[in-house]
Structure 1
Amino acid sequence: MKAMKRVGMTLPRLHYRHRLWLSSVVAVLVLVAIYILSVCLNVTGLDTNLAQRNLLPSLQHPFGTDWLGRDMFTRTIKGLILSLKVGLTAGASSVIIASVMGLLGSVMGKTMNRFINWLTDLFLSVPHLVTLLLIAFVLGGGAKGIIIGVALTHWPSLSRVICAEVLQIQTAPYVVISRNFGKSRWWIATRHMIPHLIPQLLVGLILIVPHAILHEASITFIGMGLSPHEPAIGIILSESMRYLSSGLWWLALFPGLCLLLLVRSFAMLGENLKQWVNPRHAHDR
């Protein structure tokens, strides 16, 4: 490196767009790898085998085994897929609610707009986790309670973004022309506004999913989420807390790192897509 500096040579620097592509490909590969592993892994690793309990990580058991002899690698991958399914379902439901609220607040007049703004402020005034806990408790926990709770607590921020986009589109010349030709609000919303909002909705979905996954894991960790009989990451981490003092460190370390990797991959992908659809960064390096 010193020799290169003497002659004035420098290593090539990746273009801003190339860095976005590279990080996005890495994030997608991580998500695809988790899905492929979940399909290929045999469910026998979830069965109890007392002859192989509390084994250290090895080639046969990369994440070791737990106090019942269950393979922790299999449990972790299955738990990640379970969290991913819950996160995607909850995120999609939240995006649908945000889309409806944003369109209603922008298209249906000032009275509806005031009501939507009041409802949005009401949900934003209470921390997500508190509201999610209350909803999950009322609905009896489980995947249904978490999905409904996440859907009802994560729509306000995205709804405001959609509302602002719709208000901007309403002043566009093609929308004004359609309105002058007597087109209905529904026709304008479905033909002009919704297609324009698809990139924002996609970015919103991908950014909501990691929050939904973390909230699902946290609610499950305290016993108000998924069933203890399912290999959820929150359940794995909750059970492993009782065995950390016994030196079984791998029970919590590897599932926690894998959960962090899954959440970080989605967050990275969402941030990159956000930069792609933002015209301000079209010529960034």
Structure 2
Amino acid sequence: MGMPVQARAAAGVLAALALVTVLVPAFAQLDQSLVNLREAGLPPSLAHPFGTDEVGRDVLIRSIYGLRVSFLVGLVAALVSMVIGGLVGLAAGTLGGLADRLLMRVVDGFNALPHLLFGIFIVAMFAPGAVAVVVSVGVTHWTTAARIVRAEVLSLRARPFVEAAISGGSGRLRVARRHLLPHLLPHLLLATVLMVPHAIWHETALSFLGLGLPPHLASLGNMINDGQRSLLTGAWWSSLVPGLFILVPTLAVAVLAQHWRDRLNPRRRSELNL
């Protein structure tokens, strides 16, 4: 079965954005501390397709730089979250019994915390920067991966090949490494892909509040924060463009992830189509 039109379009959009974030910085260098008041607040034109911000920086080029930063921070944060959650879920599902119950109570405890407020508390302990955002997302969003992995492990433990391995004398560590992990990797990768846009939104929210990346660096959250002041003067493009750079890749990732989820679980797809 081929890839549907929506998934192909989403893949094309993501590929184009990835290409832009790689090529544009190589040909259009951006001075992060540039101040050119003669070109401040210019509307969209041929020279500046999406206008300039309040200190004269090109909004399009700065948005591309911000998207690259957000993608890198989001990807690293999602990987950290998946590693923590994957290990906890694998341990809970493999060990079972008291260990499973204790680990799940820890997961429930983290889920009860408001993620954004807890993330702000974590970021406040670091200097503003990418490391603080990565730690904040990784520590507050690993519980989803833990639940996914635990559920898959419990399902796999009932499979004949796992029961045969246990009956043959294989230890829990060997069963987890040889029989469980290969089946868990596609689900972990899917969870990581779904976590990337969530991490981007988290980074954007923290930067918007002034707790993420330093204000002078190109970040989509910083740009939206700066652009809200320009809205009073009619410079709508200062906030609209970075907002679109957040929304479009997020929707594209969601479409691709839905297609991936259907491929992983065709039974669920057929049930939804009834």
1:59 pairs, out of 43, 46, 51, with 46
Would you say the 8 A contact 1:207–1:271 is kept in 2?
no
After TM superposition, list the pairs within 5 Å mapping 1:88-103 onto structure 2.
88-103=75-90
Q: Is 1:261 the counterpart of 2:261 in the alignment?
A: no
Greater alpha carbon shift after TM alignment, 140-149 vs 75-84? 140-149
Amino acid at match of 2:227: S
The secondary structure found in structure 1 opposite 2:229 is coil
TM superposition shift of 1:190: 1.0
Unaligned 5+ runs, structure 1: 1-16
- Asked if 1 retains the 8 angstrom alpha-carbon contact of 2:30 and 2:62, the reply is no
- Corresponding letter in the other structure for 1:55: L
Deviations 1:182-234 (A, max 9, x none): 11211111111011011211110111111110011001101011111210001
Cα displacement string for residues 114-145 of structure 1 (whole angstroms, at most 9, x for unaligned residues) = 11111100011112112111111122332111
Structure showing greater Rg: 1
AA in 2 matched with 1:214: W
Give the Cα–Cα distance (whole angstroms) in 2 for the partners of residues 224 and 196 of structure 1: 39
Contact 1:48 1:69 in 2 (8 A): yes
Q: Which residue of 1 aligns with 2:73?
A: 86
What TM-score comes out, normalization by structure 2 length? Answer: 0.92
Compare 58-67 and 115-124 and name the one that shifted more: 58-67
Alignment of 1:6-45 (within 5 A): 21-41=4-24, 42-44=28-30
Q: Identify the match of residue 220 of structure 2 among 205, 225, 233.
A: 233
Shift of 1:279: 2.6
Count of residue pairs the alignment pairs up: 268
- Structure 1 residue 282: deviation in Å? 5.4
> Mind listing any 5+ residue stretches in structure 2 that lack a counterpart?
none
In 2: Cα distance, 1:153 partner to 1:118 partner: 15
- Indicate if the aligned counterparts of 2:7 and 2:259 stay in contact, CA closer than 8 A: yes
Partner of 1:4: none
CA distance in 1, matches of 2:46, 2:252: 26
Asked whether the 8 Å contact 1:45–1:71 carries over to 2, the reply is no
Q: Distance in 2 between matches of 1:282 and 1:257?
A: 30
d(CA) in 2 for partners of 1:188 and 1:84?
A: 35
Return the alpha-carbon distance in structure 1 between the equivalents of residues 201 and 250 of structure 2: 8
SS of 1:59's equivalent in the other structure is coil
User: CA contact under 8 A between 1:80 and 1:259: conserved in structure 2?
Assistant: yes
User: How do 1:168-187 and structure 2 match up within 5 A?
Assistant: 168-187=155-174
Q: Which residue of the partner structure matches residue 138 of structure 1?
A: 125
**Aligned-pair identity (%):** 35
How far 1:40 moved relative to its partner?
A: 2.4
Q: Which amino acid aligns with 2:198?
A: H
- What's the secondary structure of 2:134's corresponding residue? helix
TM-score of the aligned structures, taking structure 1 as reference length:
0.89
SS of equivalent to 1:43? coil
In 2, Cα distance between the equivalents of 1:155 and 1:111?
21
Confirm whether residue 105 of structure 1 aligns to residue 92 of structure 2: yes
Alignment deviations for residues 87-126 of structure 1 (CA, whole Å, 9 cap, x no partner): 1001111111111001110112412111111110001111
Query: What is the Cα-based RMSD across aligned positions, in Å?
Result: 1.7
1:25-70 CA-to-partner distances (Å, cap 9, x unmatched) read 2222222212222222211475433332221112221110112221
- Alignment check: 8 A CA contact 2:208 2:222 kept: yes
Residue type of the partner of 1:23?
A: Q
In structure 2, how many angstroms separate the alpha carbons of the residues matched to 1:39 and 1:199?
Answer: 27
